[in-house]
Structure 1
Amino acid sequence: MSAIPKLSKAILLQNSPTERTDLRLTGDSSSTFKLVERDLPKLKDGQYLLKTVYLSNDPAQRTWIQKNANPARSYLPPINPGEVMRAMGVGQVVASKSSGIQVGDLVYGMLGWKDYGVFDEQSTSRSAIPIPGHSPSIFLGAFGGTGLTAYFGLTEILKLQKGQSLVVSGAAGAVGNMVVQYAKHVIGASKVVAISGSDEKAAWVEKLGADVSLNYKSSEFKKQLDDATEGFVDAYFDNGEILDQMLTRVKQGGRIAACGAISVYNSSEPTRLFNYMNLITYRITLQGFIVIDYLHRSDEAVAALSSALKKGKIDIQDAETLVQAQFEEIPKTWGLLFEGGNTGKLITQITSLD
């Protein structure tokens, strides 16, 4: 087991960005983030010391640091300058004064960009029971917010039924690839059209089960999407791209689930919907959702996803991009999300398990 440290490194938000985020840790006052080192407090009864091993990289983190964000219109409080960058993570307990948490246990929750942290046993973090044959990082991907977003987006928001058709944008991403697999192999969708950002990613998603897999950067993409959705589709799972065109491709009474907008997170330009009238004419339901609304039902989702995994209906072995990085490289690795530098879930590993 790791020696008990006296200091902890943390990466703080220094300047809230408006558009493109400066991911360099330059040490000057103009950078977005700042590296600090702090004394770790002594453990009190009911507390434990956690070593961060894996960190989740999520597009939503960008919205939490946006300059002049209105707290009244945010589903989580904004991160203010001087605060640790918020992030989900998996860690290992290195010291404990908690009766329910033992040294060596794995815990996942909102750990933040820090290498060590002290947590109370009443915190929202949860024990991660190892799954044979799989890395604990699965609790940040397929069995974490990623899997829950895919599951509840399909079952609760889209209410997708066997035999119905679906289009998925961001299909090579953390959520998108799970949507493709669960819709096709578990629910039994008649047709899944997947959209991603390269020919390589499109080929990968097709192997996961997509009936048609398109590269939105192709010069022929708009026609290809129209052709792939001839006769229109029942549902569209929107990860922040292609929404305007898809308003013309969803059937009357169809449903659209909106769970993100990564294409505009680093832009001050709002999303414009020129085909808005289709919502009215075709009585389409467009519903946004946040996975935290369903955390109280996480056991249901994990049970369903576990069953699908055991039956071989979903593949998570290749649905993760794991980057081993130095602590100071955390912001740079997170930035790969906005460059299309990952397939599946992007995970940063900053140390190893004991």
Structure 2
Amino acid sequence: MSPTTSKTLILQNPPTTDTDLSLGGVNSTFKLESQSIPELNEGQYLVKTIYLSNDPAQRGWMQKDSDASRSYIPPVRQGDIMNAVAVGQVVSSKSANYAVGDLVLGLLKWREYSVQDEKPAAGRPLNKINAIPGFSPSIFLGAFGSSGLTAFFGLTDILKLQKGQSIVVSGAAGAVGNIVVQYAKHVIGAGKVVAISGSDDKVEWLKKLGADISLNYKHPEFKKQLNDATEGYVDTYFDNVGGEILDQMLTRVRAHGRIAACGAISVYNSLDSTHLANYSQIITNRLVLQGFIVIDYLPRYSEGIAALSAALKAGKLDVKDAETLVKAEFEKVPETWGLLFKGGNTGKLITQVAELA
């Protein structure tokens, strides 16, 4: 029997700084609602959300009074269902293109069930995916999803990293960063990979993945350690955090070096933007600092997937350990997402809210 209602999480108080991830309070960022599921029309199908992607970028999507004209996707406004990429499974269908049991990938949002159109009036239809033997379908949210593709295109197109060159990666134990470390070292053949993370356990894990030098930014001597690790300067820097580490790295990239600005998680919950005391280094050392979003490469996703697949088959990528999967009740979705900002994940953070049929 098909469900008739769906739990959803609504943006109740768009944040300007920190989020309140408890539910039920007047100041809570989100509120829980039960919404009716309409009957399916021809060409429609019902999807059950299984795996939710947790991404730092979601914090920017919900920022209060954000300028839609400066956003790469429509912002989430007060009263909207919170947006999220997810893997789901078709549980009912009146579509010739989507059958019961099919796995799908796309913007399913923070809701248990959603009615989808095979030919939506706006946006893209959901992508059907085929499970990879030996791997959870959640891999399509991590190593074979936007995270892995971000790492691939950031390395090859933005940084143009070449064999023998050196790279520093911040947020290296995160969803994107760990793939950057592995692909740079084992596929491209980087001469030196310096990985930055936030715990001693992560430091050791990144060494196992291929980092030549692995640093904990919480160590009291971190700034000196980073200077020592980049003695003679480095060719490239893959930035996932912004803030003070980016500022220091402006002094550690060699002249004419390249910086990929992928994320700024250190300042997402702050009213203060990233203040770069060393900004003049961009000019004096003719650095290229380029921001990018993976959807810019949508027409080339198949190229990235092929490259990542080849690396996996060659044993040059460890993806089974590059995921933190949290099974949680739907009401715990915001709380689990919040682990991103506490360093509570190793690799891709994924919330599983239901079981596959």
Normalising by the residue count of structure 2, what TM-score does the alignment of the two structures yield?
Answer: 0.97
Answer yes or no: is the 8 Å Cα contact 2:82–2:109 preserved in 1.
Answer: yes
How far has the Cα of 1:77 moved from its partner?
A: 1.5
How far has the Cα of 1:135 moved from its partner?
A: 0.2
Aligned-partner SS, 2:20 = coil
Look up the match of 1:115. Answer: 112
Look up the match of 1:145. Answer: 146
Write the mapping of 1:188-199 to structure 2, written as runs, cut at 5 A. 188-199=189-200
Aligned-partner SS, 1:313 = coil
How far has the Cα of 1:29 moved from its partner?
A: 3.3
How far has the Cα of 1:158 moved from its partner?
A: 0.3
Aligned-partner SS, 1:256 = strand
Aligned-partner SS, 2:133 = coil
The number of equivalent residue pairs is 351
Look up the match of 1:179. Answer: 180
Look up the match of 1:92. Answer: 89
Look up the match of 2:321. Answer: 318
Look up the match of 1:15. Answer: 13
Look up the match of 1:286. Answer: 289
Question: Could you tell me which amino acid in structure 2 is paired with residue 166 of structure 1?
Answer: I
1:62 to 59, 64, 71: 59
Normalising by the residue count of structure 1, what TM-score does the alignment of the two structures yield?
Answer: 0.98
2:274 to 250, 271, 275: 271
Is 1:306 matched up with 2:309? yes
* Larger deviation, residues 118-127 vs 195-204: 118-127
Report sequence identity in percent: 67
Look up the match of 1:297. Answer: 300
How far has the Cα of 1:72 moved from its partner?
A: 1.8
Question: Could you tell me which amino acid in structure 2 is paired with residue 343 of structure 1?
Answer: T
Aligned partners of 1:62, 1:9: CA distance in 2, in Å?
A: 21
* Larger deviation, residues 63-72 vs 133-142: 63-72
For structure 2, the 5+ residue unaligned runs are none
Aligned-partner SS, 2:176 = helix
Look up the match of 1:125. Answer: 126
* 1:251-273 alpha-carbon deviations (Å, 9 max, x no partner): 11100000110001111111111
Is 1:36 matched up with 2:33? yes
1:256 to 250, 255, 259: 259
Aligned partners of 1:44, 1:163: CA distance in 2, in Å?
A: 57
* 1:221-249 alpha-carbon deviations (Å, 9 max, x no partner): 11111111111110000001411000011
How far has the Cα of 1:46 moved from its partner?
A: 1.1
Write the mapping of 1:100-111 to structure 2, written as runs, cut at 5 A. 100-111=97-108
Aligned partners of 2:283, 2:85: CA distance in 1, in Å?
A: 38
Aligned partners of 2:108, 2:12: CA distance in 1, in Å?
A: 19
Aligned partners of 1:12, 1:104: CA distance in 2, in Å?
A: 28
* 1:174-208 alpha-carbon deviations (Å, 9 max, x no partner): 00000000000011101000000011111111110
Look up the match of 2:49. Answer: 52
Aligned partners of 1:96, 1:309: CA distance in 2, in Å?
A: 34
